[in-house]
Amino acid sequence: MTDHLKVSVLGADGRMGRAVISALSETAGVKLAAALTHSESADLGKDSVALADAKGEPVVLTDDMMEARKGDVIIDFSAPKASLTVAEAIKNSGVKAIVSGTTGMSADQTEVFHKTCAGLVLLQSGNFSLGVNMLEALVELAANKLREGWDIDVLEMHHRHKVDAPSGTALMLGRAAAKGRNVELESVQKLSREGQTGARPEGEIGFATLRGGGVIGEHSVTIASELEMLTLSHSAFDRSVFAKGAVSAAIWAAKQAPGRYDMKDMLGL
């Protein structure tokens, strides 16, 4: 019998962590190896499987990042500091891959994270939904074809508990638009507008952020000229869509050569 792929989950008692544990319990050939959370979590010492309302043997929540070494792959939906800590903890440990959905990393943190993960498979994405990744490809295509006189804006809404803005998915879509126009997003982005802003510069990519209620994820990209507007959008109805995508990514990542990947690589887009 083939051994199960062992998966450690970082951020295991968060909304996404619980969804990932539930998805693991429903996926053949994979097994939860370790469940990690931060040192101040009220859930430390509890059964992560029970917290996720999932099936399977108990796996106690721990803040010992060395426990992540029990997994062949780590699925990470935590915070930037935790991602950096666990990446350091698994160096030379036999862990094959990290699948990271953590958002909000600064440029400096991202650089350190990538260096620390050298020699591993690192699959990093702002969103693990198949639909969102198809949206990303469409945004890049549309931005490439609709250029002079066409303005691009990214609008996103998430639940009231989300701590980073714009969302990782919104930035992912903005980068896709910038790539379509052969520019760096940082050179053309406008993250907010307030007061007397003046006329909009040609080529600017704008962002607008909404937070409220229990919204799982709403993203739309508008590409507007003076005569017409194209809107590309995606709505998530259940958080499990991201969790199932992350588990599929973990299975795929475990079979790849060391290097950096994203969901487009997995999907062949």
What is the per-residue pLDDT across 42-84, written as a single tens digit (0 to 9) for each? Answer: 999 999 999 999 999 999 999 999 999 999 999 999 999 999 9
**CA separation for the pair 52, 181 (Å, rounded):** 42
Of these residues, 162, 179, 190, 264, which one is catalytic?
A: 162
> Do 110 and 18 fall within a single domain?
yes
Domain harbouring 33, CATH code: 3.40.50.720
> Do 117 and 166 fall within a single domain?
no
> Do 134 and 71 fall within a single domain?
no
161 catalytically annotated:
no
- Checking if the pLDDT of 173 tops 50, the result is yes
Of these residues, 96, 158, 234, 244, which one is catalytic?
A: 158
Range of the domain at 258: 5-124+239-267
Whole-number percent of the chain with pLDDT over 70: 99
> Do 115 and 12 fall within a single domain?
yes
User: Which residue did the predictor score with more confidence, 37 or 2?
Assistant: 37
Mean pLDDT of 27-55: 95
The dihedral formed by the CA atoms of 28, 240, 80 and 190, expressed in degrees to the nearest 10: 140
- pLDDT confidence bin for 239, thresholds 50/70/90: confident
pLDDT, tens only, 3-20: 899 999 999 999 999 999
> Do 36 and 68 fall within a single domain?
yes
Q: What is the pLDDT of residue 2?
A: 55
> Do 245 and 230 fall within a single domain?
no
> Do 186 and 246 fall within a single domain?
no
Q: What is the pLDDT of residue 258?
A: 96
> Do 9 and 115 fall within a single domain?
yes
Q: What is the pLDDT of residue 1?
A: 39
> Do 209 and 174 fall within a single domain?
yes
> Do 10 and 60 fall within a single domain?
yes
> Do 232 and 246 fall within a single domain?
no
Q: What is the pLDDT of residue 3?
A: 81
219 catalytically annotated:
no
62-74 per-residue burial string, b: 16 or more CB within 10 A, e: under 16 = beebebbbbbbbb
Domain harbouring 214, CATH code: 3.30.360.10
Contacts of residue 28, defined as CB under 8 A and 6 or more positions apart, other chains included, come to none
pLDDT, tens only, 91-119: 889 999 999 999 889 999 999 999 999 99
Q: Please count the structural domains in the chain.
A: 2
**CA separation for the pair 13, 20 (Å, rounded):** 10
> Do 65 and 140 fall within a single domain?
no
pLDDT, tens only, 181-235: 999 999 999 998 888 889 999 999 999 999 999 999 999 999 999 999 999 999 9
